[in-house]
Amino acid sequence: MPGCAHLDTAPLTPVPADFEPVCSDCARVGGQWVHLRRCLTCDHVACCDSSPARHATAHSAATDHPVITSAEPGEHWRWCYVDEVGA
């Protein structure tokens, strides 16, 4: 399988000091989330695709930010929406 340039240029980074474990998009509309994802371009935190609103996917589509990581404790992976591949 060919490599993903988006993953190559989006290494896992430490969680920001001001990280809050909430999907601010869900909080704004009174929604609920299942798991949280963090955009590796801008650190936006949003809910996963198992959540009703799928805010992380919507964020990627609206901003063209291609790579997310889990914002869940103990999880260390990345996903590229463009190439649909993880690392």
* pLDDT digit string (tens) for the chain, length 87 residues: 468 999 999 998 888 888 889 999 999 999 999 999 999 999 999 999 999 999 999 999 999 999 999 999 889 999 999 999 999
Cβ atoms of 25 and 55 within 8 Å: the answer is: yes
Q: What is the pTM of this model?
A: 0.91
Counting every residue written for the chain, the total comes to 87
Domain 20-86 class in CATH:
alpha beta
The residues spanned by each domain of the chain are 20-86
Fill in the DSSP letter of residue 86: E
